[in-house]
Amino acid sequence: MEAAAATAVLLSRGTDEALREAGGEGLAVRGRLEAALGTDERRALRPLPLLAHFRRVANFAVRLDGAAPLRPPPARSLVGEIGDLDVALARDRSVPGGFSILLTKANKKRGYVLARIDDPGRFVLRGAFVAEDARGRGLAKVLLGVFLALARKLGARAIDSAVVDKPVLALALASAGFVPRDTRWAIRLINKPGGASIIWPDDPARELTSIYSHKLCKTQRIRIAPRGTTPDPAARLVHVKTAFFWPEDRHHISPDVDFFAARLLAFVVSAPIAPFFFFFFLDEQ
């Protein structure tokens, strides 16, 4: 009860008060404080839960004695970086617990994940998008890796997806280690670099036009192979019309994403999704 009460107090206050309560007054407006750390120190922070990460960075800031310059809060919620890509979060007020994870490079959007958090502690991937000129470079894998890393950072107790109809997204999820909940709808898929993805029904008796309209095929750059044709030997088996889940016993090798703990915490406690984040504080009290 004490942990729950402390969490309720923390989340009921404004961002500055919440950060002060957590032990790092003023860190919300600092720059990329983690950038001042060495490679080994930054690597050690990656697997830590958010509050443990934040406290470690806050203590380091005290040792710096103000060496990290104060800056205005970022225009968007820039919360991390992976390689030469920035990681940002944006709120989605149209969906309870909704937000998006954006990857940008030189202020140009490269891809994003739509997500939501269900109480208590269930992360749900609602969709994903990769910019057309960035496709075929493994960015979908990076996006899903960042989504998983964020879920772990915030102490997710379950990681799922909404029902997926898009074959390319279904393939990306399966390739990342997600498992389909329903295997009744199976198709064969092959990606053609720079062209449309071609799909065949795994069961020749099924008609894919019943789930993939001409409009959807056009927007998703999907081409349904003529009925009766043999799938390409390189085509991958993909399950659609199903949700996916991340097995609890499956280890996730997190990508080298460095989160900025102060900014991430500021986003969490000030966004409309804050009530959905109660759970990740409880285990750290």
pTM for the whole structure? 0.80
Distance from C-alpha of 39 to C-alpha of 185, rounded to nearest angstrom? 45
Residue entry with tokens 């409009």: 215
Per-residue confidence band for 65, with pLDDT thresholds at 50, 70 and 90: very low
H/E stretch holding 89 reads: strand 85-92
Where is pLDDT greater, at 49 or 119?
A: 49
Distance from C-alpha of 177 to C-alpha of 99, rounded to nearest angstrom? 23
pLDDT at residue 13 tops 80:
no
pLDDT at residue 70 tops 50:
no
Which residue type, as a one-letter code, is found at position 200?
W
Q: Is 262 left (phi over 0), alpha (psi -120 to 50) or beta?
A: alpha
CA-based nearest residue to 88, from 41, 97, 99: 99
Per-residue confidence band for 7, with pLDDT thresholds at 50, 70 and 90: very low
Per-residue confidence band for 61, with pLDDT thresholds at 50, 70 and 90: low
pLDDT at residue 66 tops 90:
no
What is the model's pLDDT at position 247? 93
The least confident of 118-122, 169-173, 232-236 is 118-122
Which residue type, as a one-letter code, is found at position 49?
P
Q: Give the residue-averaged pLDDT of 179-193.
A: 91
Where is pLDDT greater, at 211 or 67?
A: 211
Per-residue confidence band for 165, with pLDDT thresholds at 50, 70 and 90: very high
Per-residue confidence band for 269, with pLDDT thresholds at 50, 70 and 90: low
CB 88, CB 76: distance < 8 Å: yes
Per-residue confidence band for 128, with pLDDT thresholds at 50, 70 and 90: very high
Helices in 113-246 by DSSP H: which ranges?
A: 139-153, 167-176, 214-220
CB 35, CB 67: distance < 8 Å: no
Q: Give the residue-averaged pLDDT of 204-217.
A: 88
Looking at residue 112, what DSSP letter applies?
E
